[in-house]
Structure 1
């Protein structure tokens, strides 16, 4: 006898509000998601709220990239020192890097296409979802936020924009790795030396193999906070419109399409 019971009251939900954040389905451009996976494996999946897969690919990228000296090789190639770029590469790690890197791009593209289809079906079903969550640790609810404020805080410190819109899982992950990249790249130390006018030492203390991770992290945090602020605002408006129509709109109210008001 099968003891499994499906507690869902709908086949597909388009959103879920929990104390850890608001997760929702919405239309995404699969090429943009694939581009973020190419920029840094894991980012494309995190944009899709596929957190476990995204975290795994992100951590894999950092470990394999550092051990293969890929970023160091890129720095030498930017400087035109091709021989040194080849010499520093560790092929034992590099050959393992390529297949997973390609998989991350392909899987994020494939998943985006599938999730877009699921979104269209969930929109047609238009079932109710929870719009408010309260627990011992947090409170989360749908409301409208300013996307420009989300961008501003993300540019100050990646992760703050996610905290502003209550994407707790992504915020914690981004902030932790920001600290790691700052520490191992010696960026803060270099900035301090630059401020006091010691330019040569400021350049020498930098670790480029860790520093090259920073632009991708800043870019992702800014883009993710901006897009999700806009989509959360849309979700809030849709949920409020549905609530008002069901509870306050007259049953006899009709909008006659194609007819002009005389």
Structure 2
């Protein structure tokens, strides 16, 4: 353990670098986090790096949504077929969907406010955190990366943007679920038929109950990779600035009224 590792000598830390990724707290808009939870329960918590809670809520959303036929009912609603939408809904599943859905929004909003307070307190403590982690399977370190590259890779395949910035846990989870959504929605099969000019066949093979999950997965992957790339870059600048100040800045250096004085 080096002098820059999290040695639990402080009450709070702003960041932690491990072989599985860089986890940090920073100021977030609780309304945006709440909105992502409303778009897809679990996403708000994943943005906060609350992985276990996010995985539970995400999996719950998929299982209950599929069994309640919620996405199918949404498709009928978009087409103006309100009667068919009501008919396909399974109330045995739908009634347990609502309270957990509301909890996901409320809890992510509440947690964001709490983490914002923790960040402000951690900033006052200014405790050093590790910036390099090496293990038998991986190496992770603070580095500056291009946010647009993270967005580009996320648009190709959701999860690749997270891999680019070394968010291994989130990347693995997103990639696995995107493969599941793509396979069961027959999205690639529909695209192949579309290229062949078979529009009716392309539409017929699609499974809307699985297809409607994909836009949320793509949107989340792009947003998450972009935001975390930007915040990781800020964290790198901050850690580098503190290191240089401690090691190389003269103890007599100070600034008075906007002027440098030695």
The answer to whether the superposition gives a TM-score over 0.5 is yes
* Post-superposition CA distance 1:9-48 (Å, at most 9, x none): 1110110000000000100000000000000000000000
Distance (Å, rounded) in 1 between the aligned partners of 2:260 and 2:240: 28
Change (3 A) 1:159 1:132: same
* Post-superposition CA distance 1:120-158 (Å, at most 9, x none): 000000100111000011000001000000000001100
Q: CA deviation at 1:259?
A: 4.8
Distance (Å, rounded) in 2 between the aligned partners of 1:258 and 1:171: 45
Distance (Å, rounded) in 1 between the aligned partners of 2:226 and 2:16: 19
Q: Say whether 1:232 aligns with 2:235.
A: no
Q: Say whether 1:104 aligns with 2:104.
A: yes
Unaligned 5+ segments in structure 1 are 1-6
Q: For residue 134 of structure 2, what is the aligned residue in structure 1?
A: 134
Distance (Å, rounded) in 1 between the aligned partners of 2:63 and 2:217: 16
Change (3 A) 1:247 1:260: closer
Q: Say whether 1:94 aligns with 2:94.
A: yes
CA RMSD of superposed structures (Å): 1.0
Contact 2:158 2:178 in 1 (8 A): yes
Q: For residue 4 of structure 1, what is the aligned residue in structure 2?
A: none
Distance (Å, rounded) in 2 between the aligned partners of 1:212 and 1:121: 41
Q: Say whether 1:49 aligns with 2:49.
A: yes
Q: For residue 34 of structure 2, what is the aligned residue in structure 1?
A: 34
Distance (Å, rounded) in 2 between the aligned partners of 1:118 and 1:202: 50
Q: CA deviation at 1:257?
A: 2.5
Q: CA deviation at 1:63?
A: 0.1
Q: For residue 10 of structure 2, what is the aligned residue in structure 1?
A: 10
**Superposed structure 1 runs of 4+ greater than 2 Å apart:** 257-261
Q: CA deviation at 1:186?
A: 0.1
* Post-superposition CA distance 1:83-121 (Å, at most 9, x none): 100000000000000000000000000000000000000
* Post-superposition CA distance 1:147-194 (Å, at most 9, x none): 000000001100000000000000000000000000000000000011
Q: Which moved more, 1:7-16 or 1:140-149?
A: 7-16
Q: CA deviation at 1:8?
A: 1.0
Contact 2:254 2:260 in 1 (8 A): no
Q: CA deviation at 1:255?
A: 1.2
Distance (Å, rounded) in 2 between the aligned partners of 1:105 and 1:199: 38
Unaligned 5+ segments in structure 2 are 1-6
What is the number of equivalent residue pairs in this alignment?
Answer: 255
Normalised by the length of structure 1, the TM-score is 0.96
Q: CA deviation at 1:256?
A: 1.2
Q: For residue 162 of structure 1, what is the aligned residue in structure 2?
A: 162
Q: For residue 62 of structure 1, what is the aligned residue in structure 2?
A: 62
Distance (Å, rounded) in 2 between the aligned partners of 1:220 and 1:82: 29
Distance (Å, rounded) in 1 between the aligned partners of 2:131 and 2:37: 30
Q: CA deviation at 1:207?
A: 0.3
Q: Say whether 1:188 aligns with 2:188.
A: yes
Normalised by the length of structure 2, the TM-score is 0.96
